[in-house]
Amino acid sequence: MSDNIVAEIKKEYIYDLAKRDERADGRALDQYRNISIETGVISKAEGSARVQIGDTQVLVGVKIQPGEPFPDTPDKGVIITNAELIPLASPTFESGPPREGAIELARVVDRGIRESGALDLAKLCIEEGVKVWMVFIDVHVLDYDGNLIDAAALGAIAALLNAKLPNERYDMGKDAQLSVEDLPVAVTVAEIGGKLLVDPCLEEEQITPTKLTMIFNKDDAVAGMQKSGTGMLTSEQVYQAIEMASKKAKEIRKKFLEKG
Amino acid sequence: MKGKPEKLIVKGKRLDGRKLDELRPVKIEIGVLKRADGSCYLEIGNNKVMAAVYGPREVHPRHVQEATRAIVRYRYNMASFSVEDRKRPGPDRRSIEISKVSRESFEPMVIKECFPKAAVDIFVEILQADAGTRTAGINAASLALADAGIPMRGLVSSCAAGKVDGQIILDPMKEEDNYGEADMPIAMVAPDNVTLLQMDGHFTKDEFKQAFELAKKGCAQIYEMQRQALIAKYGAEGKQ
């Protein structure tokens, strides 16, 4: 609640700046904050990544274990994505079952991994109808300074790139690298006073009426989109946002995911 | 469930005989519930949805009320019998997300300042589902809000576009949703305000543009139907 009052006071300031193509933290409208990724930070997890975007920090852990396939897809592995906005990460987060914000976060991250085909679910089948690999992607938010979706999505794909199939533990031969087929990158754009700002920080996120997250594949195709927030966009803004985001997605993929 | 049909588009026609850019048949009835302040029953193809609006009314629990404006709440709920395999009753993660984005598709349109400290509650029940339930729910809710006399800046109209067999189509039905390559529901308020936009699947940028423009055309058609339904119910020539 108190956070919203601060946001009201800052609102006009941020809108005025946006009008002049400026931002409170000095960034250009199409400038992303600094990103850093550290992988393999949790050795107990099959894959893990800690992502920082400015002061936003998320930890994504991937656990992989054999389980039963869903009856309608007996020859396919399972992806389950979960996100928690734990009270450690922000004075506005409360403990308890996930609410719509956390659920949306998890579902958009899931959509990026699933729809991009980053994991070939057929390859995760161990024995049709009996046993498949279940890949659990768990997003732990550590520090909330805006734009959780991009951070979590980046953490998810980085953790998957880092993940191993734990064959040894289940007497199925040697551990093997999890095969990752695509590199989806999510980029979120916020609308403030008719201007589009990439990678909104917390202050911007609190006052923006509308965010649009776009997830791009390696081939620059769109794998997922999610408009969020109580405002609206014109068609022109949607097209503009896509161009802006696709450029950023390419840069991020090249710099952080393709180096290996 | 039946397996994937070999082709979803044959000679430019879809499995149900529609052209690529054709909506399913729509049926709208406004003011069908006695107790609700506003209501609407809507069918599109095999979807059957009921929307009810209660409010403006007192907010419970108290602490979520806003001093200067009304809050809007939206509950999307699927009946357990609305789908092939029985759905476990109650909210799940999918319906919570749909409720959120649907509510957000209305927030810029409801003139909330008219009713400080009040709540406008929108309830959408999916009675039968055949792909496109969130868009059908939004279309019905829009009319239920109008029926309840809630001041709005415009009518929200919603429709999806998708991709099947590599072609862009309007208003995917179940088979096209299951076996298609992309699905993109949007909601619009005339003339050019996008209030809901979601997408999953695979669109090249050109395909996205084509699908987005097609979905907007679909919304314009839905808008006309909504307008006609309101005129039929409340217009001077209507039966009152």
- Joined tokens for residue B18: 């529609």
Full domain range(s) for residue B59: 14-234
Token pair 């092939």 in the structure block, residue? B84
Q: Rounded to an integer, what distance in angstroms lies between the CA atom of residue B214 and that of residue B220?
A: 10
pLDDT of residue A1: 41
Angle between helices B93-106 and B133-147 (to 10 degrees): 40
- Per-residue pLDDT tens over the stretch B157-172: 999 999 999 999 999 9
Yes or no, beta carbons of A228 and B1 under 8 Å apart: no
CB atoms within 10 A of CB B238: 11
Yes or no, beta carbons of A224 and B189 under 8 Å apart: no
Question: Residue range B210-227: average pLDDT?
Answer: 98
Note whether B134 and B98 are within 8 A (CB).
yes
pLDDT score of A260 more than 80:
no
- Joined tokens for residue A167: 């064959």
Yes or no, beta carbons of B101 and A226 under 8 Å apart: yes
Q: Where are the beta strands (DSSP E) in B67-176?
A: 71-78, 118-128, 157-164, 167-170
Q: How far is A187 from chain B (nearest CA, A)?
A: 14
Yes or no, beta carbons of A233 and B197 under 8 Å apart: yes
pLDDT of residue B6: 85
Compare CB distances from B97 to A107, A234, A235 and report the shortest one's residue: A107
Query: How many angstroms separate the Cα of A75 from the Cα of each of A118, A130, A181, B108, B175?
Result: 17, 9, 18, 45, 21
Note whether A201 and A25 are within 8 A (CB).
yes
- Per-residue pLDDT tens over the stretch B133-160: 999 999 999 999 999 999 999 999 999 9
* Residues on chain A touching B187 (C-beta within 8 angstroms): none
Query: How many angstroms separate the Cα of B231 from the Cα of each of B136, B137, B154, B238?
Result: 20, 20, 15, 6
Residue B2 lies in a domain: no
Question: Model confidence at A3, in pLDDT bands (50, 70, 90)?
Answer: low
Residue B240 lies in a domain: no
Q: How far is B165 from chain A (nearest CA, A)?
A: 17
pLDDT of residue A195: 97
Q: Rounded to an integer, what distance in angstroms lies between the CA atom of residue A108 and that of residue A224?
A: 8
Note whether B132 and B160 are within 8 A (CB).
yes
Note whether B159 and B218 are within 8 A (CB).
yes
Q: How far is A220 from chain B (nearest CA, A)?
A: 7
Q: The CATH number of the domain where B42 resides is what?
A: 3.30.230.70
* Residues on chain A touching B192 (C-beta within 8 angstroms): 234-236
Question: Residue range B64-73: average pLDDT?
Answer: 95
* Residues on chain B touching A212 (C-beta within 8 angstroms): 197
Specify the range with the lowest mean pLDDT, choosing from A97-101, A252-256, B46-50.
Answer: A97-101
Within 8 A by CB and 6+ apart from B26, the residues are: B42, B43, B44, B222, B225
Yes or no, beta carbons of B93 and A230 under 8 Å apart: no
Q: Rounded to an integer, what distance in angstroms lies between the CA atom of residue B56 and that of residue B77?
A: 21
Interface of A with B (CB under 8 A): 72, 99-100, 103-104, 106-107, 111, 114-115, 209, 212, 217, 219-236, 238-239, 242, 246
pLDDT score of A222 more than 90:
yes
* Residues on chain A touching B96 (C-beta within 8 angstroms): 99-100, 103
DSSP H stretches of helix in chain A:
2-19, 100-115, 148-161, 202-207, 235-252
Give me the number of domains chain A comprises: 1
Compare CB distances from B201 to A100, A115, A232 and report the shortest one's residue: A115
pLDDT score of A86 more than 90:
yes
Q: What is the mean pLDDT of chain A?
A: 95
- Joined tokens for residue B121: 């509650």
pTM of this prediction?
A: 0.94
pLDDT score of B240 more than 70:
no
pLDDT of residue B21: 97
Within 8 A by CB and 6+ apart from B76, the residues are: B95, B98, B99, B102, B124, B126, B133, B134, B137
Mutation for B interface: A109, A115, A227, most B CBs within 10 A: A227
pLDDT of residue B20: 97
Full domain range(s) for residue A32: 2-257
Question: Residue range B64-91: average pLDDT?
Answer: 95
Note whether B33 and B229 are within 8 A (CB).
no
- Per-residue pLDDT tens over the stretch A19-34: 999 999 999 999 999 9
Q: The CATH number of the domain where A139 resides is what?
A: 3.30.230.70
Instruction: Please provide the size of chain A in residues.
Output: 260
pLDDT score of B211 more than 50:
yes
Residue B97 lies in a domain: yes
pLDDT of residue A2: 47
Residue closest to B139 by CA, chosen among B239, B2, B26, B19: B26
pLDDT of residue A10: 85
Note whether A161 and A180 are within 8 A (CB).
yes
Give me the number of domains chain B comprises: 1
- Higher pLDDT: A3 or A145? It is A145
